[in-house]
Amino acid sequence: MTESSLIAADRPATENAAESADAILEMRNLSRVFTRQPVLAETLLKLAGRAPDIPVLRAVRSVNLSVQRGEVLGLAGESGCGKSTLGRMMTGILPASEGTVSYEGADVATLRGAALKDFTLGVQMVFQDPYSSLNPRQRVAAILAEPLTVHRPDLSRAQINARVDAALEEVGLDVSYRDRFPHQFSGGQRQRIGIARALIVEPQFLVCDEPIAALDVSIQAQVINLFLELRRKRNLTYLFVSHDLSVVRHMADRVAIMYLGEIVELAPTAELFADPKHPYTRTLLEQIPSVRNRKRSFSTVKGELPSPLNPPSGCPFHPRCPAAMPQCSVDAPQLQQIAPGRTVSCHLYDKDKTLT
């Protein structure tokens, strides 16, 4: 991976900057639970004072994370650990159950009017599935022009058309494709259209939710390069979600590792890959060296991923952790700083608490 070390060399040293020095987005104790709607019988039970047992799924549990302006923050973890849910809350698509998201210093739950629009458009999402992320009944030109017709009434028809063409060119699509429907494109091209749609409102920050996971391996590299090129040209900030650690290593300045709705480790990319601290991160990294294993994600991590409906007591990783200690099944470890820019949530590092 020589190119990733090259990229690492010319990165701004954001990782050493104090947290929230120039945070574009900050999450504090952010949680999201999913419950199903109570059926009629359950509502009646509740009225009768007998609280029914409706299962609660904690998809994201008290996440504290800040994204610095201009960085690429990688987010990795097994499928189902809450990466998409966290990403959706960051864009405002999904409201948080608890905690706050702050955009440029202001709690987004309190934003109204123009400020809310700034946040909504400023943080855009690129979705995982290029097949369901485009309206099948809209032509490409309509998909790309709609955000402008809605938000920029000052632009003339011709100006909007010009911007649509520019957006197509920017993502590497020919302008002659404007009158086609999404189904007439390949997965990679659709993903480019999705990127163009997000970019046309000139966002600051892109949440990329596994944007290449559904693509052909031959096309993945092109789309990754497009992301890198766009970042350079537009000074974008990314949250780059992936369950493929080699992609994260290639793209990200910092990496957050997520397990069962929690961030368990956060570190600058080079340090994380050179010296993973959390036992879960270590197990993950053992999976990458073989090229064959790359597409298999983390299915080879020993043991089953516990259900977020019924998470283990204490450290959520303890049933699978090779280094588990007696206290691990009782006490939940807290995220603690173990070095500048490095945090980890594991009892193995408890002794470091005195140092920070």
Partner 1 sequence: MAAPNTRLDRDEIVAVRQPLTNTPQRRAMLGKLKRRPSVRNSLIALLVITLIGLCLPFFAQQDPYDLTSFSVMDNRMPPMSESFDGMVFWLGTDGQGRDMLSAILYGMRISLLVGLVSTALALIIGVSVGLVAAVLGGRIEALLMRLVDFVLGFPSILVALVLLAMIGRGVDKVILAIVMVQWANYARIMRSSALSERRKEYVEAAHNLGYSTGRVMFRHVMPNSLSAVLVLATVQIASAITLEATLSFLGVGVPVTEPSLGLLVANGFDYLMSGAYWISFYPGIALLILIFSLNLVGDRLRTALDPKRS
Which entry of ligand ADP, ligand SF4, Mg ion, none binds 147, CB below 5 to 8 A by partner kind?
none
69: its two tokens: 């302006």
Among 317, 338, 342, 343, binds ligand SF4 (CB under 6 A): 317
Q: In what order do the strands lie in the sheet with 205-209?
A: 123-126, 205-209, 237-241, 72-76, 254-259, 262-268, 342-344, 336-339
Which span sits near ligand ADP by CB under 6 A: 61-69, 83-91, 133-141, 216-224?
Answer: 83-91
Cα separation, 319 vs 340, in Å, equals 30
Residue 119: CB atoms within 10 A of its CB come to: 21
Which span sits near partner 1 by CB under 8 A: 20-28, 86-94, 291-299, 311-319?
Answer: 86-94
Cα separation, 70 vs 234, in Å, equals 10
Which entry of partner 1, ligand SF4, ligand ADP, none binds 205, CB below 5 to 8 A by partner kind?
none
316 binds ligand ADP (CB under 6 A): no
Nearer to ligand SF4 by Cβ, of 166 and 332: the residue is 332
- Which residues in 71-90 contact Mg ion (CB under 5 A)? 84
Residue 190: CB atoms within 10 A of its CB come to: 22
CB of 134 to partner 1, least distance (A): 6
- Can you list the positions of beta strands (E) in the chain? 23-35, 56-68, 72-76, 98-103, 106-107, 123-126, 205-209, 237-241, 254-259, 262-268, 336-339, 342-344
Size of the site for Mg ion (CB under 5 A): 1
Residue 44: CB atoms within 10 A of its CB come to: 12
177 binds partner 1 (CB under 8 A): yes
Residues contributing to the site for partner 1 (CB under 8 A): 37, 88, 91-93, 117, 120-121, 124-125, 127-129, 132-137, 146-147, 150-151, 172-174, 176-177, 180-181, 183-186, 188-189, 194, 197-198, 201, 216, 218-219, 222
